[in-house]
């Protein structure tokens, strides 16, 4: 009998403890009994600009790793490489687009530098857009800046789903023809709202003027440009398109550039707006950076990105 009474008493005490614990928990349901998302959201639900600006010591470097990564879409297989911090966690993403007849390796220095500073960096070959490229599904007669734009958008859409990528912080970085394509893609309705900012090395906004009035297959700097390419750009006004991108833009250009005249760069700055477009002119640099000019260019864009990167 005493054992039975003791058991009943113990059960009552346990019931009170459970009740008290439950009563101490916040009520996260609304009037319909649904979970209150605002009280349960994590950092990934918070916009980057609502978080604290990320600050790393000037000499800080992550150990990095490098791996191949392919993106498949619409019969094309895009080959590229990822450079990323060799550490668990989520990091901002930067996607690089090479220039005319270029390769993913053209941005190797930039990718390594960014990975060391806490970014996931990806560079790839556009399909059909170079000699000896590793991407497949399109020939030199079939690629155009418009197909390149589709390649880039496919890459954005897939890479933002990677577990190591902070999908709220996506940046684009392109050079020459790749800068032209980057600017077009950034203004596209499908991705423009998901991008944080873009960076452009000597963007070739002169491409439509260069091919205006021409027909058929053309040869340029040892590579062929198909008739479809020429047709796709000759009547294109890039400035009527790129202004739809409303985020910040970093442009780096050399004052000895013989392929992209200053007037095309000035028109881009005017189109984006001086309050959003930052132009850096490197004295003595031509169309393509090397040595001291390359270091200046990388430092310039890295500072631009870090000023817009959040924890």
Q: Comparing 29-43, 72-86, 140-154, which segment has the lowest mean pLDDT?
A: 29-43
Helices (H), the chain: 2-23, 108-116, 145-159, 177-186, 207-211, 227-233, 239-242, 262-272, 291-306
Read off the pTM: 0.85
Q: Average pLDDT, stretch 95-104?
A: 97
- List all residues 6 or more positions away from 217 whose beta carbon is below 8 Å from its beta carbon: 141, 224, 225, 226, 227, 230
- Determine how many CB atoms are found less than 10 A away from the CB of residue 48: 17
Copy the structure tokens of residue 24: 């101490």
Which of the four pLDDT bands, split at 50, 70 and 90, describes residue 51?
A: confident
pLDDT at 221: 86
Strands 218-220 and 223-225: antiparallel
- Write down the pLDDT at residue 132: 94
Residues 111, 83: contact at Cβ < 8 Å? yes
- Judging by beta carbons within 10 Å of its beta carbon (0-12, 13-18, 19+), is residue 64 exposed, middle or buried? buried
User: Rounded to the nearest 10 degrees, what angle do helices 177-186 and 145-159 cross at?
Assistant: 60
What is the rounded CA–CA span in Å between residue 39 and residue 20?
Answer: 21
Contact, 277 vs 268, CB < 8 A? Answer: yes
**pLDDT, tens only, 217-262:** 998 988 989 999 999 999 999 999 999 999 999 999 999 999 999 9
- Domains in the chain, CATH or no CATH each: 60-306 (3.40.50.1820)
> pLDDT value at position 50?
82
State the Cα–Cα distance between residues 271 and 238, nearest whole angstrom: 10
């Amino acid at each position: 009998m005493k054992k039975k009474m003791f058991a009943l008493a113990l059960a009552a005490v346990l019931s009170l403890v459970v009740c008290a614990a439950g009563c101490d928990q916040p009520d996260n349901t609304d009037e319909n009994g649904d979970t209150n998302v605002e009280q349960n959201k994590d950092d990934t639900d918070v916009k980057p600009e609502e978080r604290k600006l990320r600050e790393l010591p000037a000499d800080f470097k992550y150990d990095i790793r490098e791996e191949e990564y392919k993106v498949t879409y619409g019969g094309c297989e895009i080959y590229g490489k990822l450079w990323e911090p060799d550490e668990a966690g989520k990091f901002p993403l930067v996607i690089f687009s090479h220039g005319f007849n270029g390769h993913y390796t053209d941005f190797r220095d930039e990718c390594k530098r960014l990975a060391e500073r806490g970014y996931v960096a990806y560079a790839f070959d556009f399909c059909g857009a170079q000699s000896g490229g590793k991407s497949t599904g399109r020939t030199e007669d079939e690629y155009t800046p418009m197909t390149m734009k589709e390649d880039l958008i496919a890459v954005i859409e897939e890479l933002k789903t990677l577990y190591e990528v902070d999908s709220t912080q996506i940046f684009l970085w392109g050079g020459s023809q790749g800068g032209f394509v980057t600017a077009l893609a950034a203004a596209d309705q499908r991705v423009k709202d998901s991008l944080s900012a873009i960076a452009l090395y000597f963007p070739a906004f002169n491409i439509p003027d260069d091919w205006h009035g021409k027909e058929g297959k053309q040869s340029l700097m040892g590579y062929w440009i198909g008739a479809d390419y020429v047709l796709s750009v000759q009547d294109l006004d890039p400035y009527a398109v790129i202004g739809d991108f409303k985020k910040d833009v970093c442009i780096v250009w050399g004052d000895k550039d013989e392929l992209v005249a200053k007037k095309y760069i000035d028109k881009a700055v005017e189109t984006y707006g001086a309050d959003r477009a930052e132009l850096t002119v490197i004295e003595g640099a031509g169309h393509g950076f090397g040595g001291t000019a390359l270091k200046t260019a990388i430092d310039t864009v890295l500072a631009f990105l870090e000023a817009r990167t959040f924890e």
